[in-house]
């Protein structure tokens, strides 16, 4: 009865009442398999919370559910999917890890783990999971696209520890050129990618530093590496779009003309985020 009342309240948009009855149902005495009934009811509650964008409440219910879930791979994979929807990537990765212990080739769990690791900025781990997901399911285009971006991030990050100095300098030269192309592209399309003064400053800074960004100069003056990459990161951040509805709003109206970064520009934006505060 509590479950039915919860469903009626949810349909009517009476969130407080729905939560009250869902919790009554979860902790009620059920005939038959009580644990299964409680689990299914909590899952229904979580689906409801996520459907109304109550991410924090959904996350709390998921954590409560996970504590008594056990290691059933299908259940852990489902919980991992729900944690992804709640934007709780750490718990999602943990659930997928448990699922994959029992079934290491589970394609959906591999794809979910790859996405969670990607969102956490753990790109080497994301690469491994995504490679396995795509190998098991070549039709998984989402994982394939994510894998390409992950590989670019790993290839284009000059600060990875295993880089030789020569390789690092080569990457800095390439990424500096990519950021310059991004600036010029924005200037060609329109003049409102950032505030006009800010954009001019970035362009002037890039032009002033450009003659020094060569492997020879970088070898002589290692401090140029950080200076160049700071500018690269600034360019990619400030030219990334703030537009939320491209189909409905023109670039001129939003003040963002460079569009959503893709390819190398997207990779550089992710690398900038990875090294924020360093």
DSSP 68-91: T-TT-HHHHHHHHHHHHHTT-HHH
What is this structure's pTM? 0.83
Q: Where are the alpha helices (DSSP H) in 86-222?
A: 89-102, 107-119, 123-136, 141-156, 165-189, 196-209, 215-220
Spatial contact of 110 and 100, defined as CB atoms under 8 Å apart: yes
The pLDDT, as a whole number, for residue 162 is: 84
The pLDDT, as a whole number, for residue 67 is: 82
Tokens 């001129």: give the residue. 252
CA–CA dist 263, 156 (Å, integer): 11
Spatial contact of 133 and 111, defined as CB atoms under 8 Å apart: yes
Q: How far is CA 198 from CA 15, 47, 208, 239, in A?
A: 46, 44, 15, 10
Count the Cβ atoms, other than its own, within 10 Å of residue 10: 21
Helix (H, G, I), strand (E, B) or coil at 217: helix
The pLDDT, as a whole number, for residue 126 is: 98
Spatial contact of 159 and 169, defined as CB atoms under 8 Å apart: no
Given a cut of 70, the residues of the chain with pLDDT beneath it are 187-200, 241-257, 277-278
The pLDDT, as a whole number, for residue 200 is: 58
**To 10 degrees, the CA torsion angle through 238, 242, 248, 250?**
-20
The pLDDT, as a whole number, for residue 184 is: 84
The pLDDT, as a whole number, for residue 278 is: 66
Domains of the chain are 2-156 (1.25.40.10), 165-274 (no CATH)
The pLDDT, as a whole number, for residue 257 is: 62
The pLDDT, as a whole number, for residue 274 is: 93
The pLDDT, as a whole number, for residue 72 is: 85
Q: Using one digit for the tens of pLDDT, what is the confidence trace for 51-68? A: 999 999 999 999 999 887
Q: How far is CA 18 from CA 29, 44, 82, 85, in A?
A: 19, 11, 20, 21
CA angle 98, 122, 164 (to 5 degrees): 135
The pLDDT, as a whole number, for residue 66 is: 87
The pLDDT, as a whole number, for residue 240 is: 85
Percent of the chain residues topping a pLDDT of 90: 71
């Amino acid at each position: 009865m509590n479950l039915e009342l919860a469903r009626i309240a949810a349909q009517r948009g009476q969130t407080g009442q729905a939560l009250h009855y869902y919790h009554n149902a979860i902790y009620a005495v059920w005939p038959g398999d009580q644990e299964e009934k409680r689990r299914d009811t909590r899952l229904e509650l979580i689906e409801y919370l996520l459907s109304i964008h109550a991410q924090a409440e959904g996350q709390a219910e998921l954590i409560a559910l996970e504590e008594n879930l056990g290691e059933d791979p299908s259940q852990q994979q489902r919980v991992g999917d729900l944690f992804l929807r709640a934007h709780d990537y750490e718990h999602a990765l943990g659930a997928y890890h448990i699922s994959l212990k029992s079934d290491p080739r589970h394609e959906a769990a591999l794809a979910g783990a790859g996405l969670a690791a990607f969102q956490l900025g753990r790109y080497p781990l994301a690469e491994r999971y995504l490679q396995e997901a795509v190998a098991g399911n070549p039709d998984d285009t989402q994982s394939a696209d994510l894998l390409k971006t992950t590989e670019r991030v790993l290839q284009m990050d000059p600060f990875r520890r295993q880089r030789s100095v020569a390789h690092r300098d080569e990457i800095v030269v390439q990424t500096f050129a990519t950021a310059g192309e991004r600036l010029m592209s924005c200037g060609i399309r329109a003049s409102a990618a950032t505030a006009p003064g800010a954009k001019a400053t970035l362009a002037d800074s890039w032009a002033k530093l450009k003659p020094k960004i060569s492997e020879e100069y970088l070898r002589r003056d290692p401090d140029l590496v950080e200076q160049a990459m700071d500018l690269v990161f600034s360019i990619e951040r400030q030219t990334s779009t703030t537009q939320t509805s491209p189909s409905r709003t023109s670039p001129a109206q939003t003040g963002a003309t460079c569009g959503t970064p893709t390819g190398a520009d997207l990779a550089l934006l992710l690398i900038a985020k990875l090294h924020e505060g360093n």
